[in-house]
Amino acid sequence: MGKRSFLAGAAVSLTLASIALVPGTASAHSTPHQDQYKRVGYFIQWGIYGRQYYVKNLETSGQAARLTHINYAFGNVDASGKCASADPWADWQRPVGAEESVDGVADEPGQALAGNFNQLLKLKKKHPNLKVLLSLGGWTLSANFSNAVLTDESRKALVKSCIETFWNTGVFDGFDFDWEWPGSEGNPGNVIRPEDKQNFTLMVAEFRKQLGKKATLTAFLPANPAKIDAGFEVKKIFKYLDFATIQGYDFHGTWETTTNQQSALFIPRNNPTTPDFSGATTLKAYTDRGAPKKALVLGIPYYGQGWTGVTNANRGLFQPATGPAPATWAAGNEDYKVLATLPQQGYKVYHDPLSGSAWLFNGTTFWTFDDPLVVAQKSLYIRLGGYGGAMVWSLDGDDANGTLTKTIYSTLR
């Protein structure tokens, strides 16, 4: 039996066991000594607005009890090359009422630390083994990294400012570097230099030097081999990083006119894109370049990519489309918690267990996404392959019972 076939069959059994955990019937009582795997989730700063997703939701959903790390997204590197808050109101100024508070206690008027930061402190009191990292950058806040890390002096100043702005709040246990991307194109307007590759290493080394071993340092790394080679000295950076989270999604999306998988574990058969990306090939790209397996944490999406005007053939897969599917916040992008309800609205869910992928199709609209079966299969692959764990973008995409997070926890602990 091949690895794909074994994983496909085993994932079915594993998922049945995982689903039994929902809603919240399983205990979550592991300690750092028991946690063999990293279970990392991104919490988005702006979720408190339209999404009305608060730090308290991490507690009520059961997610906080089943995570080892929360990455708070995002902190900014500003035009002066210093760390800065992207939204001080959300981070530490906003008074949080009792109904939104982790412990049910409202903030006092004028208290020094309020907002999400104070709620994260309250969450950590409930879960003393949970680490919270400040994630720097992201797609829209990576413009100034290259300038900020250009010289030894500028790197020292950047780290000093990050310590003063974020570390000294007492909220964070370290930093996650989400520079998208050193040495290659990211968001339009980003400063890019060939020497970004070496300077990324020097930046991480400077963080380690100033913060010492007490801090957890991680990085989000790309799937595209060209971006890996342009921006990262893979073997060197793991001398300073505790681990890295690896892009396991956005392999395809509505910037293309043909439906496709966005996060398959293995490259699907008959895929029209050659070469293509997958979770397994991305992990191998890093081990081939000298990364230790246990330091690689595979990213899993809690959202789907969707197209509409899709030709009704091949169950919607690999078909031409007229554009992005309508969605809640942005066309072509929808949370798992919403996609999970579509089978009750005329959609059929399809699985390709040999590639570790799933999609929804109603004859005209197509969504590629990860459901509990796919998440279980990926978790099993991580475990059997000797990798370090799973990361998710982002926690607000899960349902109110934390179904996907509990599925990961059932295998990776």
pLDDT tens per residue, range 206-228? 999 999 999 999 999 999 999 99
Q: Given 59, 100, 180, 233, which residue is catalytic?
A: 180
pLDDT score for 6 = 59
Question: Quick check: is 339 in a domain?
Answer: no
- CATH of residue 236: 3.20.20.80
Distance CA 169, CA 177 (A): 19
Kindly state the tokens that stand for 362.
């109603």
Composition of the chain by helix, strand, coil, percent to 5: 35, 20, 45
Domain extent, residue 19, equals: 3-304+375-411
Task: For strands 131-137 and 357-361, give the pairing.
Answer: unpaired
Q: Is 206 part of any domain?
A: yes
How many domains does the chain fold into? 1
Q: Cα–Cα distance between 259 and 393 in angstroms, integer?
A: 21
Tell me if 345 is assigned to some domain: no
Q: For residue range 70-82, what is the model confidence (pLDDT) as tens digits?
A: 999 999 999 999 9
317 in a domain, yes or no? no
Chain segment 6-57, per-residue pLDDT in tens? 566 655 554 444 434 333 334 444 344 457 999 999 999 999 999 999 999 9
Its pTM surpasses 0.75: yes
- If we measure between CA atoms, which residue out of 406, 350, 339, 349 comes closest to residue 379? 406
Q: Is 180 a catalytic residue?
A: yes
User: Taking the CA of residue 224 as centre, how many other CA atoms within 13 Å lie in the half-sphere pointing to its CB?
Assistant: 14
- Per-residue pLDDT tens digits for 113-164: 999 999 999 999 999 999 999 999 999 999 999 999 999 999 999 999 999 9
Please, what is the Cα angle at 314 between 308 and 320, to 5 degrees?
A: 40
- Domain assignment present for residue 224? The answer is yes
Average pLDDT, the chain: 94
